C-alpha cells in the first residue's frame, strides 16, 4: 500500500485510466452515455482495505483545494484506505458510481474536491461509528467555519444555510449528512442502486431518502469536523448559485418525483413540499435576508432564482449541465 506521506507525490506521478470501460451493473438510474472521466486509484495494491475514499472532481485542482485535501488525508490517523479519484465527469453521480464499482473497501466514503478535513481523527471516527451501529446507513460530519479561511469564505459559510452549523454532541439523526464528508457500507450502497446518474442536482437528498426508505438511519456524527468550502470570490459564488438554480429547474421539470426537501436543521421533516408553497417560502426567505442584511446570502438567492427562471422558461429539451456539477 502506498504510504500516507507519499499520496501527494503519487498524485504528481499518477497514471490515469479511462472510466468508460468501468461497468456499473448495480446502478438503478444510470446515464446511458459512457463516462468521459479518467480514474486514478492508489492504496489497494496489496489487497483489500477497510475503506474506499472516492473523490469526484472536474480538474483535480479546484483552486488548490484538492491538493490540500490530499495532505489532510495523509495526516489522518486511520490509514487502511484506498483512494479513487474520478476526474472530468460533469455527472457527479456517475463519477461516484464509477468509484464505487472499482472500490474494494467494506465502507465507501465520499469527499468533494473542495472538502477540508479539520481533524486527524475524522476517518477513524466515521469508520468506528459504522462498526458499532448497523442501523446507520449514512453518516456525515459537522461542517464548520475554518478560522484560517479568507474573510469572504467565513462570511459566506455563516450566512448561507447548510454551509455550517454547531457540531453535534451525540449521534444525531439529521438531513445534514452530505457528500462532502459521507460514509456508508459499500454493499448497501450498491444494493440500493447507487447514485442517481440522471440528476444534475439533488443527489444528496435522493441518496438520503433511498437509505431512509430502506429503514436505515441518516446521521451526523460527533467529533467529525470538516469544511465544505465555497468559492473564494463573490463572482464565483454567484455564478455557482446561478448554475445550481438552472439545474434545479431541470430536475423540477423532468424529475419532480425526486425533488426532496433539504432542511437547515437536524431532526425529522416532511420530505416533499408542494411547488407553490416552496415558491412562497423562497420569497419569504428572500425578504428576511434583506431585513437582516445578509448580503452574500441575498445575492446567492437572487442568482439561484434567476438561474431557475432561466432554466424553467428555456428550451425544456436543453440540458443545464455546462460547467461544474460538483459542489
The helix-helix angle for 234-254 and 295-313 (nearest 10°) equals: 40
Report the topology of domain 4-231: Spore Coat Polysaccharide Biosynthesis Protein SpsA; Chain A (3.90.550)
pLDDT for residue 325: 53
Cα dihedral 9/15/16/18 (nearest 10): -160
| pTM greater than the 0.85 cutoff | yes
pLDDT for residue 324: 47
CA distance 249 to 89: 21
* Strands 81-87 and 38-42, bridge-based pairing: antiparallel
CA distance 8 to 112: 17
CA distance 263 to 260: 10
Element (DSSP H or E) covering residue 196: none
Q: Is 8:74 a contact under the CB 8 Å cutoff? A: yes
pLDDT for residue 46: 66
pLDDT for residue 293: 84
Residue 277: what are its φ and ψ, rounded to 5°? -65, -35
Q: What is the DSSP letter of 144?
A: -
CA distance 97 to 107: 14
- Quote the Cα angle for 43-45-49, to 5°: 60
Concatenating the DSSP letter of every residue in 198-240 gives T-SS-HHHHHHHHHHHTT-EEEEEEEEEEEEPPPSSHHHHHHH
Element (DSSP H or E) covering residue 172: strand 172-173
Residue 152: what are its φ and ψ, rounded to 5°? -65, -45
Contacts with 6 (C-beta within 8 Å, 6 or more apart), sequence order: none
* Strands 217-228 and 38-42, bridge-based pairing: unpaired
SS (H, E, C) 35-61: CCCEEEEECCCCCCCCEEEEEEECCCC
Contacts with 280 (C-beta within 8 Å, 6 or more apart), sequence order: none
Q: What is the pLDDT along the chain (327 residues), one digit of tens a residue?
A: 444 458 889 999 999 999 999 999 999 999 999 999 999 999 866 678 999 999 999 999 998 999 999 999 999 999 999 999 999 999 999 999 999 999 999 999 999 999 999 999 999 999 999 999 999 999 999 999 999 999 999 999 999 999 999 999 999 999 999 999 999 999 999 999 999 999 999 999 999 999 999 999 999 999 999 999 999 999 999 999 999 999 999 999 999 999 999 898 899 888 887 777 777 777 777 778 878 889 999 999 999 999 999 999 985 545 545 444 555
Residue 193, Cβ neighbours under 10 Å: how many? 16
Contacts with 297 (C-beta within 8 Å, 6 or more apart), sequence order: 156, 159, 160, 161, 289
* Strands 172-173 and 115-117, bridge-based pairing: unpaired
Q: Please report, for the chain, the start and end positions of each structural domain, with discontinuous segments joined by +.
A: 4-231, 235-313
pLDDT for residue 316: 56
The residue length of the chain stands at 327
CA distance 19 to 31: 13
Amino acid at each position: 500500500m502506498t504510504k500516507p506521506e507519499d499520496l501527494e507525490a503519487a498524485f504528481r506521478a499518477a497514471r490515469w485510466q479511462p472510466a468508460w470501460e468501468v461497468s456499473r451493473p448495480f446502478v438503478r438510474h444510470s446515464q446511458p452515455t459512457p463516462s468521459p472521466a479518467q480514474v486514478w486509484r492508489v492504496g489497494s495494491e496489496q489487497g483489500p482495505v477497510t475503506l474506499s475514499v472516492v473523490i469526484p472532481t472536474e480538474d483535480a485542482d479546484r483552486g488548490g483545494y484538492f491538493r490540500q485535501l490530499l495532505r489532510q488525508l495523509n495526516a489522518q490517523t486511520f490509514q487502511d484506505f484506498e483512494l479513487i479519484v474520478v476526474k472530468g465527469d460533469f455527472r457527479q453521480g456517475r463519477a461516484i458510481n464509477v468509484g464505487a464499482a472499482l472500490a474494494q473497501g467494506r465502507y465507501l466514503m465520499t469527499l468533494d474536491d473542495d472538502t477540508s478535513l479539520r481533524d486527524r481523527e475524522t476517518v477513524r471516527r466515521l469508520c468506528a461509528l459504522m462498526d458499532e451501529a448497523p442501523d446507520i446507513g449514512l453518516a456525515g460530519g459537522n461542517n464548520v467555519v475554518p478560522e484560517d479561511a479568507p474573510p469572504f469564505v467565513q462570511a459566506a459559510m455563516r450566512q448561507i444555510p447548510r454551509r455550517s452549523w454547531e457540531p453535534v454532541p451525540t449521534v444525531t439523526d439529521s438531513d445534514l449528512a452530505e457528500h462532502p464528508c459521507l460514509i456508508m457500507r459499500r454493499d448497501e450502497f450498491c444494493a440500493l442502486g447507487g447514485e442517481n446518474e440522471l440528476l444534475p442536482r439533488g443527489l444528496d437528498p435522493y441518496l438520503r431518502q433511498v437509505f431512509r426508505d430502506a429503514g436505515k438511519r441518516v446521521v451526523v456524527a460527533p467529533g467529525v469536523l470538516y469544511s465544505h468550502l465555497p468559492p473564494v470570490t463573490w463572482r464565483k459564488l454567484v455564478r455557482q448559485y446561478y448554475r445550481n438554480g438552472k439545474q434545479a429547474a431541470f430536475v423540477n421539470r423532468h424529475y419532480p418525483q425526486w425533488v426532496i426537501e433539504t432542511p437547515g436543521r437536524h431532526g425529522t421533516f416532511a420530505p416533499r413540499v408542494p411547488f407553490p408553497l416552496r415558491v412562497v417560502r423562497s420569497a419569504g426567505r428572500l425578504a428576511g435576508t434583506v431585513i437582516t442584511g445578509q448580503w452574500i446570502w441575498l445575492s446567492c438567492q437572487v442568482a439561484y432564482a434567476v438561474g431557475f427562471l432561466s432554466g424553467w422558461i428555456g428550451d425544456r429539451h436543453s440540458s443545464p449541465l455546462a460547467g461544474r456539477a460538483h459542489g
